[in-house]
Structures are given as structure tokens and as C-alpha cells.
Amino acid sequence: MKDSLKTFLLILLSSLTISCSKEVLPQINTAQELDASLQKSYEKSNFGGFSVAVIKNGEVAFQKSYGKANIEKNIDLTNEMSMNIASISKVFIGISLVKAIEDRYFTLETPINSILPFEVINPNFPNEPILIKHLVTHTSGIKDSESVYFQNYSILEGEDISTKGAQRMIQELGIKTNGNVLSLENFTKLYLSTTGTLYHSDNFVNASTGTEYEYSNTGSALAAYLIEIVTQTPFDVYSKQVIFEPLQMSHTAWRKSELNAELVSTQFFDAETPLPAYTMATYPDGALLTSIEDMTIFMQEMIKAKTGQSSLLLSKESYQLLFDKKLKTRPKQMPEREDNYGVFWLWSTNGRIGHTGGDIGTTTFFGFDPNTQSGSIVLINSNVEEAGELALEVLSEIVRAYKSFEAAK
């Protein structure tokens, strides 16, 4: 689910040539025109709801939410409501990791086995060390096993597991129901150490380290665990201290229990299939809950940071390290619309930088153009891949609409 949806999202984010609809959308020049277009898209959709923000020349030009956070209780989705942003979470690993570099705990050239309390070795190339730079560019050789990966998810205790959505999660994906998951340390050790019960040689690609692209949620979570080790601070606490608190992202947390439950949106397969709240052992790779308000604040700061106008979270030199392209040669298997990687920040071939996200009950985009200091965010509380052809058509309309407005003078 994660891999196939990510491929679709990257293609859609990078290109506006996708034509899922017979209708050609008009040029959108004003916030009012964008609002009308997005409202129309929502009304024909089978989403629970979605939120959109557009930044132009570094300033907020548009921010609005559509649809419902809870259909059964008729609760509208609002700008301050949090939802799961899936793999966009990885850019927060990136900032946290560069902060640790800034504080001289390690460098991108540090071998991971010089930090870990257990060894991680690609059995196909046992003499080639995995460096931190390989984790942040998805060239470490660590591969996700989807059947194993979903074993580290669990529906939260107290959630209704009798619903259609919950039963699909349980029966189709094998997700647990007791609310308990392994610690970040234990999951990575069990999955990557030869003595672990989840270990298999197929957890690694058959390619020399650094030469082949393999998008890895597990490798990303491992990077977060390295931060835990060197800082002696749980990753959720550390990232809150170095990112969320300085930016006053008050509707952002790694766990639902840390937020006002009334301001957390339900996630959906589609509008008719609400889902129970869930968590995962590898939470840093895709479990961040946040709002369109907070993500707009975050994008503004990242635009300032990329253009040398801020040193709020990191020094200007560290921000440069965060964003600068790390791949000197193009690895095998890298999707053609991906140009390069910073520290978990994806550069698309159209010059935009950011990330996308897709997981159970969520579809998200986050990207900006550093040259124009403009960008767009969309957070959908539904799984586009699961919601079918209509959802893909509506998603294409939404992307075309906000990108048209972003580009308008």
C-alpha cells in the first residue's frame, strides 16, 4: 500500500500532465476562484475531507479545509484539526538528524554500526558499511517487507474494531488491535539484526551500498533511532524540542494522546469507511499528526531557511546541509521524476523540494519552489488509492487547481 501509493503521488506531484478528468480546469487567479474550484471538487469526491494551503512569495495566500473530520457526528474539518501526514513525517527526521550533526554527534559519513548496539549488515555485500548518508537518500540497501512492516501497526486501545474499516485493517493487513507496538529500538533490531525474529536476507537488496535506490520506511526509522542513541532522548521528545516547540506547532504530535481528541480528524478509506486511530513501532517514518495551520507555518520557515533568511531551527550552514543534493551519481531504480535527495528531502525534476505521503487513511503533498518562494500543501484524511477511480480524478483536479493559483501572478 505504501509503495504503490507513493509512486502515484510522486508522479502526480511532479507533473501536471496527468489527465484524469475530461474537464479542463480554467486558470485560477484568485483565492475566491480557488475556493470555488476546491468546493466543487469536494462535492463530487468520496473523501472524508481535505485541507489546502498555498504560499506565494513567502506569504500565506490561501488556507482552507473542506468536508468532514467525522461524518457520523457531522463534525466539519477545520484548519486547526490534525490528521496523519504519512511519509511527509520523514522531513522531520531530516531536520532532527541535521540538528544532531550540528551538535557534533555524528556526520553523514558516519557508519551506522559505529553507533548501533547491534550490527546491520547487508548479507549480499557484508564488507560494505552502511553510512548515515545512505539512510537519508534511500540507498542503504534496507528493504521493507510489507507483510512484516504492517505487523508493527496496531489499532489504539479503546477504538471500535467492529467497523468495516477496522475489520479490513485487521483481516487484509494483519494489523494488531491491542494498542501495543514494539519500541523503535526493538523493531529495528528484530528486523535488521541477524539474531532478530523478523530478520530475513530479503530485508536487503542485492546491490552494492549506495548504488541502488530502494525507498525504505525501515531505513528512515533506523535514522530516527540513531538520533535517540546519540542524544539519549526519545525521538518524539527530541523532535518536539528542536522543531515543534520553536515553531509553536501546537497541533502537532507523534501520538493522538498528546493532542486534544476533539481536534483530531478521523481517517477514512473513503467517506463511507471511517477507520479507527492506529499507531506503529516505526512512528517517525510516517505517523505524525498535524494540521494545515501548523504545516503552513512549517513551510514558511522552510522557504526562509532554504533562501538563507532564517536560522531559527538550524544554523544557515546546517540548513544548507539539510537541503543540498546528496547524490553525486544517479542510483539504479530511482524513479525518473525524482531528481535527488537532501537529508530526506526529495528534489523533483521540476525544481520543487518536499515530500509526499500515503498510508492507511491518508494522502498528502508538501512541496515548494525555492526560486519563487512559493509552495502548496494538501492533506486528505482519506486513502486515494483505496477510494478508487473517482478519487484519483478529484485528486488530479485539486492538484491542478492549487498549482494554477500558486503560479498565477
- pLDDT tens by residue, 354-405: 999 999 999 999 999 999 999 999 999 998 887 778 888 899 999 999 999 9
Rg (CA), the chain: 20
Q: Which residue has the cell 542503504?
A: 140
Q: Is 151 helix (H, G, I), strand (E, B) or coil?
A: helix
What are the tens digits of pLDDT across the range 305-329? 999 999 999 999 999 999 999 999 9
Q: Is 37 exposed, middle or buried (0-12, 13-18, 19+ CB in 10 A)?
A: buried
Q: List the Cα angle 172/175/178 in 5-degree steps.
A: 145
Q: Cα(172)–Cα(160) distance, rounded to whole angstroms?
A: 17
Provide the CATH topology of domain 2-17+76-364: Beta-lactamase (3.40.710)
pLDDT at 315: 98
pLDDT at 16: 35
pLDDT at 11: 44
Whether the CB-CB separation of 291 and 79 falls below 8 Å is answered with yes
C-alpha grid cell, residue 275: 477507520
CB proximity list for 146: less than 8 A, separation 6 or greater: 1, 2, 3
pLDDT at 21: 38
pLDDT at 187: 97
Q: Cα(73)–Cα(404) distance, rounded to whole angstroms?
A: 34
Q: Cα(380)–Cα(267) distance, rounded to whole angstroms?
A: 9
pLDDT beneath 50: ranges in the chain? 3-23
Whether the CB-CB separation of 135 and 218 falls below 8 Å is answered with no
Average pLDDT, the chain: 93
pLDDT at 389: 85
pLDDT at 22: 41
Q: List the Cα angle 66/278/171 in 5-degree steps.
A: 105
Instruction: Give the count of alpha carbons within 13 A of 119, CB side only.
Output: 9
DSSP 71-102: TTTTEEP-TT-BEE-GGGGHHHHHHHHHHHHH
Q: Which amino acid is at 289?
A: L
> What are the CA-CA distances from residue 69 to residues 148, 252, 271, 290 (Å)?
30, 16, 10, 13
Angle between helices 217-231 and 90-102 (to 10 degrees): 30
Residue 302 belongs to what H/E stretch?
helix 292-306
* Per-domain residue ranges of the chain: 2-17+76-364
Q: Which amino acid is at 295?
A: M
Q: Cα(174)–Cα(176) distance, rounded to whole angstroms?
A: 6
Whether the CB-CB separation of 106 and 115 falls below 8 Å is answered with yes
Neighbours of 273 (CB within 10 A): 20
- Given 3-state DSSP classes, what are the helix, strand and coil percentages for the chain, each rounded to the nearest 5? 40, 20, 40
Helices (H), 251-306: 292-306
pLDDT at 390: 87
Neighbours of 108 (CB within 10 A): 17
Q: Cα(361)–Cα(383) distance, rounded to whole angstroms?
A: 4
Q: Report the percentage of the chain scoring pLDDT > 70.
A: 94
pLDDT at 191: 97
C-alpha grid cell, residue 298: 512549517
